[in-house]
Structure 1
Amino acid sequence: MTLPDVVQTLSYDEILNENLSVVKSILPDYRPAEGDNVMLVLRAFSDRELNLKALFNILAKGFFLSTAQNNDLDNLAETLYGIYRLPGSKPYADMTFSLTSILAYDVLIPAKFELVDETGSHFAKLLDDVTIKAGETSVNGVIELQEETISSKVKIEIQVSPLPYVKVKQLNDFINGSNPESDEELKERIRVSLADKSTAGSSLTYKSFTLKSDERIEDVKVLSPSAGVVDVVYYSSVADNVMQERIENSLNADEVRPLTDLVQVKKANEISFDITGEITIKSGVDASSIYTNAVNNFNTIKFKIGEDVSIARIINLLMIENVIDVNLTAPTANIVIDDYSIAILNNVNISYKVSNEL
């Protein structure tokens, strides 16, 4: 996307010449010479004007969705769209609840049962009810750290409101959280969220509410295989039961799902594939660097749910400057991906040779 016209193209020489023209209009007999006092002042003011215009450009970019960043983007999102940056997802860990002695009745540990670490600064909550059956001594559950972060090694094994006879032990570190939403992710969600203001049940409405249910979600596709049935297909490289539950809870809200819609949330099937082949590089150039640059193009390749794998796209990524031929041995044809699946690049095994032709 091109920059808005309000963002100016800056040139020190143009600014200096404009200021010099102003001086000549006031002092017609003035003849500029390097080092004279007038030129020193003009250069100082021109440099200051350049810096002020550069600062204006930075400030102006904060008013446009395409160019705003960081706090400017947060304020723009809140003021114009009523959208807030997702703080990230809370990680979780496995927990064992055990009894100090066998009891003749069931012991229920309710969802949202709260625990704290020994410093009193980190809290966690039990995600779902768990029950230690009569005659049994333990049961496992999942606790969620009440902080948005990718992971944490903190141990949280102190009951805020202790239950009689119940002991707790955390089995592993907190995992599968995520960092706050990036600028580009927030911008994409703002564009999709415009559907939130439309009639409930639209495709983009379902997509918007799915994306903001868990920051870790990477792609969403909404399908309607039959009248009144809505399939919400999502993909995340770290998908888990917690994410599934968050999506289902988000889409069951009255303002999202019309009474007549049957909403089914499904994780996209992963279709893995490898790329193998050989590229031919022009002689007389740094073949190793060119090979590295060509292969590195696959580091950022991502596919959307339902997007086919195109051989033409693969060849185009390899066919950089000084690569004169690409011979693919896999895949040998386009890979067709259905609407409930997503292509995942597994291994890239590309070799190279240098052309004998000068």
Structure 2
Amino acid sequence: MGRYQCHLLCRWFFTQSLCSVIVQQRKTIDYSAKQNLLSYATESSLDHLGYMTDTPRLEAQSALTTFEFRLSTVLTGAYTIPAGTQITTGNNVIFQTDVLTEIPPGSLSGTVSGHALVPGVSGNGFLPGQINALITPLPYVASVSNLTESNSGADQEDDDNYAERIQLSPEKLSTAGPEDSYKYWTRTANQNIKDVNVYTPAAGTVEIRCLLKNGDIPSDELLEQIGNVLSATNIRPFTDHVIPKKPDKVDYDISIKYWISTDDKSRATLIQSEVNKALEEYKLWQRSVMGRDINPDEIISRFKNAGAKRLEITSPVFTVISEIQAARERNIECTYEGLEDG
């Protein structure tokens, strides 16, 4: 190889070595530029976009529940339970009461709202009666327990939910009662809120319904929290009567038989697994939004994409769901009927 060819080869290697650097640099420039756009921004970049619209990311929130305190004997005077009285589950999850409450003379019990001491999801899911160990010493108190399952605890707001709130944030500037304004302020109550419907059954009456992550129904405690947010004088129009409510549930059953083609018999086990996954995804999809009609065609599409050859659907049948309703699966039966020719 001559000197000229060696020189060209060296230049070619040098140019090739620069290509990866140029590609990485352009990707970095592209990423940095997109962080200025709401659809692409993440983490701290999204936080800065939120600051521009006075919409900070929601911090972790404590789980909520309602406690019942029972006295060992009837007293002649009112018995005071201080705000901040602490109760635990026995596994280091501590709750405390929100406000001072009194048990009237002649009564043996009283109720009060409470929240987990440490914010986050760790306080969720304690069934009625499981939070029952009193930490704060109180004379005459025989027992204490939660009446409702602890709920609504949430970790710091994720990027997707935060971006949706930033997009709605211009609507918060109006106090004339526009629909999107109510949606924005409702979602500030808790980052678990995913779908909000604003309904006006009569002049001056505004009903707020919402669904949480995974299509969960909001608790009474969370509805009260939403009501407190929307009752602020700089949010609620003076003439509006705002009522937070749970969506009206529409129960439906799932009864399905399906077959797999003999051409796919080597993949039959995998297809059954994919069909089961498709069923779970359909249930979540159906329950996650209010006003979403129950449509068996959606099941057929998902099962076909999973590899099923044929389906027989006894239920559900097509059902119209109104904007204030949410579908809820009840009895589920999905049966694999075997291989089929054709």
Q: 1:293 to 1:98 in 2, by over 3 A?
A: closer
Question: Would you say 1:337 and 2:314 are equivalent positions?
Answer: no
Mapped partners of 2:75, 2:200: distance in 1: 51
Q: 1:48 to 1:133 in 2, by over 3 A?
A: same
Mapped partners of 1:227, 1:133: distance in 2: 39
Instruction: Letter of the 1:314 partner, please give it.
Output: I
1:171, CA displacement in angstroms?
A: 3.7
Gapped runs of 5+ residues in structure 1?
Answer: 1-28
Contact 1:200-1:255 at 8 Å conserved across structures: no
Paired residues for 1:159-238 under 5 Å: 159=136, 165=139, 171=145, 175-176=150-151, 177-236=153-212, 237=216
Gapped runs of 5+ residues in structure 2?
Answer: none
Between the aligned residues of both structures, percent identity stands at 23
Q: 1:33 to 1:284 in 2, by over 3 A?
A: farther
Contact 1:94-1:170 at 8 Å conserved across structures: no
1:306, CA displacement in angstroms?
A: 2.1
The TM-score normalised by the length of structure 2 is 0.79
Instruction: Letter of the 1:220 partner, please give it.
Output: V
- 1:259 aligned partner: 238
Q: Which whole-Å deviations, capped at 9, do the CAs of 1:286-323 have from their partners, x for residues lacking one?
A: 12222322331233323421221112222222221654
SS in 1 for 2:336: strand
Q: Which whole-Å deviations, capped at 9, do the CAs of 1:137-158 have from their partners, x for residues lacking one?
A: 6544332124321124999955
SS in 2 for 1:221: strand
From 105, 116, 119, the equivalent of 2:77 is: 105
Higher RCO (C-alpha 8 Å, min separation 6): 2
From 301, 304, 307, the equivalent of 1:316 is: 301
Larger Rg: 1
Question: Would you say 1:142 and 2:93 are equivalent positions?
Answer: no
Q: Which whole-Å deviations, capped at 9, do the CAs of 1:177-210 have from their partners, x for residues lacking one?
A: 1222222212222223332123431111111111
Q: Which moved more, 1:313-322 or 1:215-224?
A: 313-322
1:117, CA displacement in angstroms?
A: 8.8
- 2:339 aligned partner: 354
SS in 1 for 2:251: strand
Paired residues for 1:15-34 under 5 Å: none
Instruction: Letter of the 1:89 partner, please give it.
Output: Q
SS in 2 for 1:319: helix
Mapped partners of 2:42, 2:23: distance in 1: 22
Mapped partners of 1:278, 1:100: distance in 2: 58
SS in 2 for 1:302: helix
Q: 1:355 to 1:123 in 2, by over 3 A?
A: closer
Contact 1:148-1:180 at 8 Å conserved across structures: no
From 36, 39, 49, the equivalent of 1:66 is: 39
Instruction: Letter of the 2:57 partner, please give it.
Output: R
From 84, 105, 109, the equivalent of 1:114 is: 84
Q: Which whole-Å deviations, capped at 9, do the CAs of 1:264-291 have from their partners, x for residues lacking one?
A: 2210122222222233333322122223
- 1:302 aligned partner: 286
Contact 2:258-2:308 at 8 Å conserved across structures: yes
The TM-score normalised by the length of structure 1 is 0.75
SS in 2 for 1:71: helix
Paired residues for 1:32-51 under 5 Å: 36-51=9-24
- In the comparison of the two structures, how many residue pairs are matched? 319
Aligned-residue Cα RMSD (Å) equals: 3.4
Contact 1:114-1:123 at 8 Å conserved across structures: no
Question: Would you say 1:84 and 2:63 are equivalent positions?
Answer: no
Q: 1:122 to 1:350 in 2, by over 3 A?
A: closer
